[in-house]
Structure 1
């Protein structure tokens, strides 16, 4: 006879196929045998068929029931939670406060902080002026694997998300509230842009500029995982954060605006590298997507000259005397040699646009004698050409002596307080100054000769703006550098080591006539600047931490007060036995239940002969609930027990009926329905007796019950406190963290 669940000796799900020998016997052949070309295919098909049959059988027998039980349990638990008492409970009050706090820290604070920087709150132009509004954004430096190479997997993506959302919200508010005419980025758009391999060209480190030792161990992985495709994703990420809000604010100019521009061509050392370590393929890729780093723009009747100073610095590096690095610095050198002529052409083009003329000179395609040619349509040049105030843009700040103070708006270290009677700033003030130093792929300030040459070749520089340092710095340079005032703009990112990020606002007002001659008073400044600070991220997170600790303390105090003051509990009591999700795993057969009832007594009377024993001293016994059993008294009387014992048995019988009435056995307040026809018999399928749990002092249904006789009140109280504290704390934590995650997922 074959055993159960077998088929002629072959068990279900066997991973062997049966094949006959020549003599008629059968054998099992494992996978991969050479008996036939289709044996492996047949084995796999048999495995899939058996798995499908077993899964279908499980679904028919237990799967549907388990799913139904889970759904019913979830629905019942949801119904128990959606009561008025639980919805308007103290833990949910804390959750509501968390929602308001998170909305403030993740949304509203950006609006309120930026709102304080509106143009009309700091501009000071003559009545009727129509200034051009411009904003500088420096060093967004998108966090990537190069930023924190040693961090584990969950922390890096979380850092990307939080820092990106901070810049996205700040920039969206900037565009929405200020609607600037022009936005300039001052380099370091990415943090590791120079590290991601290009699709074309050599990507090897030059022999004079290898990576430092702490990055050598990551080079192989970076070159394998992060190439051109990854850089393109970073380019799209930059566009999502900064170009998206700019387009949403309106690609077309508003009323009163001539044109709207967003210029992000200026490279930083994190985009290309610095000096002789710049890789040409990396620079070609950057310029292909953002534009040339050396350019001239006329904005607000001012000429902006952007210079790729990270490449220019290769000419003055120590390597230039030993190796050929002309391909790095020559493009910038050519641009600076023609910078004045490029400025004149850009100004003339802008004036033509303002006059409503053609943007380019019109020349007929014909051959003329030089004496008869008409040159009136050509751009003017030379000393008589119009000149607009020039603003120099460079990623790396201009040179200054060591210890030159940066002013009171620098956040790292405020200026050293001067001695009594001294009105000028303390010099040198190394803590308040930009450190003059250099290292692998960076240099804090340009070389002295490079700075002087830069100012001279650009010409007519009235102001300079730079980035790179991440903190604010304002100073006026020496006469050798044209006494140019310079502002180093704060980083826009919260991850650049500056507690309070920010950006620079510039208002330009320089009215000119049709020929470019100024109409304002001579000597009057044509630009005004204002530092606008973004929310301080650490201050926001400290508020979260303080309130979180307060929630823990308040919930702990409430948990102690629940048993002391008999407060309504938040934790739900366990579900009654027999309900969906709390049913027994093994089946219960009616025949077995009937045999148990006939053998151990009628459930109507609660008598169970095998559960009670007669004591040697003739005393009566109690069941688990503390009730006397009347059957024991009768048995004692039949065996000749004393009358007093019989009397005690009667009292016990009365006490037992009193307990049945209170406990619900046979249809009391806490009982279950009796069988049809009365008789007190219990055939409802429910429990035979009420089993009192360990936590009888708990609040059940809003009512407190007497303490258990088998468990001390102190232990029950501790259990209530722990359960209540953990339940309320978990409710507040997961709802607050879930809402915070949703806000960050939404951006």
Structure 2
């Protein structure tokens, strides 16, 4: 990720922030996911930079410093781990670029070594080729050097199985399925030529002729490639049998792949006594989906702000309502005590209609007294409530809004005071070399 990636001016804040979070993700992934496997060999399949051919020497050195810091190649590298590099089109460009700017090859080789070579590990031979030059005109220097190396390797008599490492994948027909692990649509072949010498300006895959020639001369049991930024598994048919090819996805979350990954290659001893060749197996390992993590953080921040804005000033009053409900239930459960009216002999012995009428009227008057008192109390309470409501409604809406905003600001400040230091501590925990 550099100024050529997003067309941002060098030194801008946005470019610096994007570079920081991109580098931090790859550094954490490498230290937390790759190194714990304790690998004996580490292979980078190209595109160490993004706009490598178009960067000035100063910018290129800055990108190189970032690359080494991301993968801890200065301080975090284990003494028994061998590291190998493949050149990619984002590192040195294609054959048409080499003719105009040969310096891009010399500065790459000065830091990363030869572009065509082979090495052995655990009785397996790894053949590294500079795929960007293979489809160029054979009379050109870089193309001729690459094919001379391949022909010389094909003459080496070795019993070890071979694995071909190429940045640009081998040819496959259009719309060839890539297997279950690919997240984007399949990319078909596209080749652009420069005039007038017809050198390669861009290509998605090596040509069919070049791919067949590579398989015939090197005779690999496995092909590993990059360039596509997404996972793809295909099988090539050869006279010696089928050869699988794994195109590895990017380890960065900023290269159009939501599911970054790396591949673990394991070499074990022969599976039976009759064979002396080691067994090679591969395992695709996925990294966290950083984009989804940031979306989750953003959604939680929005939800927090909404809750702070719409939360009532006095809360939802759940406890007050519960208390009122409890008091009401208590009042209904208490039985009002009644005092018996003493009966005198005169009352008991009287059978006159007048006395009965008077006692009934008195009883009726007595029973209506508390009801009228309750109605009066309710009327007074209603008037009091209406007065309180009118007083509350008379408050300024602007002042209520200001109070609510101040409460939101205070809450955000408190939340930030707790979380920002923790975030910064965790952010730089893996960034500083120890």
Q: Same fold (TM over 0.5)?
A: yes
Aligned equivalent of 2:28: 169
Mapped contact 1:469–1:488 kept (Cα < 8 A): yes
Instruction: Tell me, in whole angstroms, the C-alpha distance in 2 between the residues paired with 1:477 and 1:530.
Output: 19
* Cα root mean square deviation, aligned: 3.0
Mapped contact 1:295–1:305 kept (Cα < 8 A): yes
Aligned equivalent of 2:181: 409
3-state DSSP class of the match of 2:30?
Answer: helix
Aligned equivalent of 2:300: 547
Change (3 A) 1:744 1:179: same
Aligned equivalent of 2:87: 267
Aligned equivalent of 2:256: 497
Aligned equivalent of 2:327: none
Q: 2:124 aligns with which of 295, 302, 316?
A: 302
Aligned equivalent of 2:153: 339
User: What stretches of structure 2 of length at least 5 have no aligned partner?
Assistant: 194-200, 320-390
**Residue 387 of structure 1 pairs with residue 208 of structure 2:** no
Instruction: Tell me, in whole angstroms, the C-alpha distance in 1 between the residues paired with 2:71 and 2:165.
Output: 20
Mapped contact 2:253–2:291 kept (Cα < 8 A): no
- Once the two structures are superposed, residues 254-280 of structure 1 have per-residue CA deviations (whole angstroms, 9 ceiling, x without a partner) of xxxxxx21112x100010111322232
Q: Following TM superposition, by how much is the alpha carbon of 1:563 offset from its aligned partner in structure 2, in angstroms?
A: 7.8
3-state DSSP class of the match of 1:494?
Answer: coil
Mapped contact 1:389–1:461 kept (Cα < 8 A): yes
Q: Following TM superposition, by how much is the alpha carbon of 1:186 offset from its aligned partner in structure 2, in angstroms?
A: 0.4
Superposed, 1:163-242 pairs within 5 Å as 163-196=22-55, 227-242=56-71
Q: 1:469 aligns with which of 219, 225, 228?
A: 228
TM-score by length of 2: 0.73
- Once the two structures are superposed, residues 524-551 of structure 1 have per-residue CA deviations (whole angstroms, 9 ceiling, x without a partner) of 8711111100000111012102211221
Change (3 A) 1:434 1:563: closer
Aligned equivalent of 2:410: 727
TM-score by length of 1: 0.44
Aligned equivalent of 2:213: 453
- Once the two structures are superposed, residues 333-355 of structure 1 have per-residue CA deviations (whole angstroms, 9 ceiling, x without a partner) of 211121134xx4xxxxxxxxxxx
Change (3 A) 1:275 1:463: same
Q: Following TM superposition, by how much is the alpha carbon of 1:328 offset from its aligned partner in structure 2, in angstroms?
A: 2.4
Mapped contact 1:161–1:744 kept (Cα < 8 A): no
Change (3 A) 1:524 1:301: closer
Between Structure 1 and Structure 2, the one with more helix by share is 2
3-state DSSP class of the match of 1:248?
Answer: coil
Instruction: Tell me, in whole angstroms, the C-alpha distance in 2 between the residues paired with 1:340 and 1:248.
Output: 37
Mapped contact 1:274–1:313 kept (Cα < 8 A): no
Mapped contact 2:215–2:238 kept (Cα < 8 A): no
Instruction: Tell me, in whole angstroms, the C-alpha distance in 2 between the residues paired with 1:719 and 1:281.
Output: 64
Instruction: Tell me, in whole angstroms, the C-alpha distance in 2 between the residues paired with 1:481 and 1:745.
Output: 52
Instruction: Tell me, in whole angstroms, the C-alpha distance in 1 between the residues paired with 2:291 and 2:273.
Output: 45
Instruction: Tell me, in whole angstroms, the C-alpha distance in 2 between the residues paired with 1:195 and 1:507.
Output: 37
Q: Following TM superposition, by how much is the alpha carbon of 1:726 offset from its aligned partner in structure 2, in angstroms?
A: 2.4
Aligned equivalent of 1:397: 169
Mapped contact 1:301–1:510 kept (Cα < 8 A): no
| Greater mean alpha carbon deviation, residues 480-489 or residues 545-554 | 480-489
Change (3 A) 1:326 1:524: closer
Count of matched residue positions in the alignment of Structure 1 and Structure 2: 349
3-state DSSP class of the match of 1:541?
Answer: helix
Instruction: Tell me, in whole angstroms, the C-alpha distance in 1 between the residues paired with 2:316 and 2:118.
Output: 77
**Residue 532 of structure 1 pairs with residue 304 of structure 2:** no
- Once the two structures are superposed, residues 660-696 of structure 1 have per-residue CA deviations (whole angstroms, 9 ceiling, x without a partner) of xxxxxxxxxxxxxxxxxxxxxxxxxxxxxxxxxxxxx
Change (3 A) 1:241 1:718: closer
Q: Following TM superposition, by how much is the alpha carbon of 1:499 offset from its aligned partner in structure 2, in angstroms?
A: 0.5
Between Structure 1 and Structure 2, the one with more strand by share is 2
Q: Following TM superposition, by how much is the alpha carbon of 1:474 offset from its aligned partner in structure 2, in angstroms?
A: 0.5
Instruction: Tell me, in whole angstroms, the C-alpha distance in 2 between the residues paired with 1:332 and 1:176.
Output: 32
User: What stretches of structure 1 of length at least 5 have no aligned partner?
Assistant: 1-142, 197-226, 254-259, 317-324, 345-384, 413-430, 512-517, 568-707
Instruction: Tell me, in whole angstroms, the C-alpha distance in 1 between the residues paired with 2:95 and 2:301.
Output: 48
Instruction: Tell me, in whole angstroms, the C-alpha distance in 2 between the residues paired with 1:481 and 1:536.
Output: 40
- Once the two structures are superposed, residues 483-506 of structure 1 have per-residue CA deviations (whole angstroms, 9 ceiling, x without a partner) of 321000111111110101000111
Aligned equivalent of 2:340: none
Q: Following TM superposition, by how much is the alpha carbon of 1:714 offset from its aligned partner in structure 2, in angstroms?
A: 5.1
3-state DSSP class of the match of 2:125?
Answer: strand
Mapped contact 2:229–2:250 kept (Cα < 8 A): yes
Q: Following TM superposition, by how much is the alpha carbon of 1:243 offset from its aligned partner in structure 2, in angstroms?
A: 3.5
Instruction: Tell me, in whole angstroms, the C-alpha distance in 2 between the residues paired with 1:471 and 1:176.
Output: 22
Instruction: Tell me, in whole angstroms, the C-alpha distance in 1 between the residues paired with 2:143 and 2:277.
Output: 37
- Once the two structures are superposed, residues 639-665 of structure 1 have per-residue CA deviations (whole angstroms, 9 ceiling, x without a partner) of xxxxxxxxxxxxxxxxxxxxxxxxxxx
3-state DSSP class of the match of 1:336?
Answer: helix
- Once the two structures are superposed, residues 64-122 of structure 1 have per-residue CA deviations (whole angstroms, 9 ceiling, x without a partner) of xxxxxxxxxxxxxxxxxxxxxxxxxxxxxxxxxxxxxxxxxxxxxxxxxxxxxxxxxxx
Q: Following TM superposition, by how much is the alpha carbon of 1:228 offset from its aligned partner in structure 2, in angstroms?
A: 1.4
Superposed, 1:248-259 pairs within 5 Å as 248=76, 250-251=78-79, 253=80
Superposed, 1:689-704 pairs within 5 Å as none
Superposed, 1:13-412 pairs within 5 Å as 143-150=1-8, 153-196=12-55, 227-244=56-73, 247-248=75-76, 250-251=78-79, 253=80, 260-264=81-85, 266-278=86-98, 279-315=101-137, 326-341=140-155, 344=156, 385-412=157-184
Instruction: Tell me, in whole angstroms, the C-alpha distance in 1 between the residues paired with 2:187 and 2:273.
Output: 36
Mapped contact 1:402–1:435 kept (Cα < 8 A): yes
Q: Following TM superposition, by how much is the alpha carbon of 1:740 offset from its aligned partner in structure 2, in angstroms?
A: 3.7
Q: Following TM superposition, by how much is the alpha carbon of 1:191 offset from its aligned partner in structure 2, in angstroms?
A: 0.3
Instruction: Tell me, in whole angstroms, the C-alpha distance in 2 between the residues paired with 1:335 and 1:528.
Output: 27
Mapped contact 1:187–1:271 kept (Cα < 8 A): yes
Instruction: Tell me, in whole angstroms, the C-alpha distance in 2 between the residues paired with 1:386 and 1:718.
Output: 81
Change (3 A) 1:302 1:554: same
Instruction: Tell me, in whole angstroms, the C-alpha distance in 2 between the residues paired with 1:170 and 1:235.
Output: 19
